[in-house]
C-alpha cells in the first residue's frame, strides 16, 4: 500500500486555518483521495482530554515546561494512534496545527527554545514531520486588528496571552518558513475563503496527485 501524505496548517490566532484545512480535506475527498481531517492539540480521545487541560487549566495554569510536555504528550498519542496509521494506510492526513505550533508558542514565544521542543518531539513522536506545512499569513495590521477584537472572556488560556506573545508567535512562523523553504509554504490569508483555498492548492500543487491538481 502506498504511503499517504501528511499536511499541516499553521499560523497565529484567527487566520482561518481550520476553515482551510477542512476545505482541503473536502477537495481531496471529492477527487477520490481518502482524507483524514484532524487537529492539535487533540485528534484522539486521550489528546482531546489533554487539550481541555491545556486550554482550560485547573488551578493556576501550567509553567512553560509542563505546558510543552503536555502538548508533546498529546501529539505522541495523536501520531501513534491516528496520524501514522492513517498515512500508512494511504490516507492523506490534514492537520490543523502540529509541531510548529509548539516550536512557535512554547519554544519561541514561551522562551523554552527550539532545541528543547524538538527533543520532546523526538522522544514523543519519533520526530515525525509533515510532508508540507502551510503557514497562513495576514498583514500585521490585520493581525493587530484581530488581536484587538478578541473577546477577553471567551478566549482560552493560550489565545488570551498578550499581544507581544502573539506577535512573537507570528514572527516565529515566518522564521521557520525562511529556514526550511522545502517543507513550508507561506500562503496569503487575506481575501475570500475561496481565494485562499485556491492559493493553498497552488502551494501544494507539486505534491498533489494528478487527478487533484
Ligand atoms: P484552538 O482553539 O485550536 O486555536 P486556533 O483556532 O487559533 O487554532 O486552540 C489551540 C491553542 O493552542 C492555540 O492558542 C495555539 C495553542 N497551541 C500551542 O500553544 N502549542 C501547540 O503545540 C499547539 C498545537 C497549539
Question: Residue ranges per domain, the chain?
Answer: 6-207
pLDDT, one tens digit per residue, over 46-102 is: 999 999 999 999 999 999 999 999 999 999 999 999 999 999 999 999 999 999 999
Q: Is 158 in the pocket of ligand 1 (CB under 6 A)?
A: yes
Residue 76: per-residue pLDDT? 99
- 177-203 pLDDT, tens digit each: 999 999 999 999 999 999 999 999 999
Show the 3-state SS of the chain. Answer: CCCCEEEEEECCCCCCHHHHHHHHHHHHHHCCCCEEEEECCCCCHHHHHHHHHHHCCCCCCCCHHHHHHHHHHHHHHHHHHHHHHHHHCCCEEEEECCHHHHHHHHHHHCCCCHHHHHHHHHHHHCCCCCCEEEEEECCHHHHHHHHHHCCCCCCCCCCCCCHHHHHHHHHHHHHHHHHCCCCEEEEECCCCHHHHHHHHHHHCHHHCCCCCC
Pick the atom of ligand 1 nearest to 71's CA. Answer: 22
**Per-residue pLDDT reduced to its tens digit, 144-182:** 666 566 555 578 999 999 999 999 999 999 999 999 999
Q: From the CA of 17, give the closest atom in ligand 1.
A: 8
Q: What is the CATH superfamily name and number for domain 6-207? A: P-loop containing nucleotide triphosphate hydrolases (3.40.50.300)
Average pLDDT, stretch 126-138? 96
pTM value is: 0.95
Does the C-beta of 107 come closer than 6 Å to ligand 1?
A: no
- Predicted local distance difference test score (pLDDT) of residue 13: 87
Amino acid at each position: 500500500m502506498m504511503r499517504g501524505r501528511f499536511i499541516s496548517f499553521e499560523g497565529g490566532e484567527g487566520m482561518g486555518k481550520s476553515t482551510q484545512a477542512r476545505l482541503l480535506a473536502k477537495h481531496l475527498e471529492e477527487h477520490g483521495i481518502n482524507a483524514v481531517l484532524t487537529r492539535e492539540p487533540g485528534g484522539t480521545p486521550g489528546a482531546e482530554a489533554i487539550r481541555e487541560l491545556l486550554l482550560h487549566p485547573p488551578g493556576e495554569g501550567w509553567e512553560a515546561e509542563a505546558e510543552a510536555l503536555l502538548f508533546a504528550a498529546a501529539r505522541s498519542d495523536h501520531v501513534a494512534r491516528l496520524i501514522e496509521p492513517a498515512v500508512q494506510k494511504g490516507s492523506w492526513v490534514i492537520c490543523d496545527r502540529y509541531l510548529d505550533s509548539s516550536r512557535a508558542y512554547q519554544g519561541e514565544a514561551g522562551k523554552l527554545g527550539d532545541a528543547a521542543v524538538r527533543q520532546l518531539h523526538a522522544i514523543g513522536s519519533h520526530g515525525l514531520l509533515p510532508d508540507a506545512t502551510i503557514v497562513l499569513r495576514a498583514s500585521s495590521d490585520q493581525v493587530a486588528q484581530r488581536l484587538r477584537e478578541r473577546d477577553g472572556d471567551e478566549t482560552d488560556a493560550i489565545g488570551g496571552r498578550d499581544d507581544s506573545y502573539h506577535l512573537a508567535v507570528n514572527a516565529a512562523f515566518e522564521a521557520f518558513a525562511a529556514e526550511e523553504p522545502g517543507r513550508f509554504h507561506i500562503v496569503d490569508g487575506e481575501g475570500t475563503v475561496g481565494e485562499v483555498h485556491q492559493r493553498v492548492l497552488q502551494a501544494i500543487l507539486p505534491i498533489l496527485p494528478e487527478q487533484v491538481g
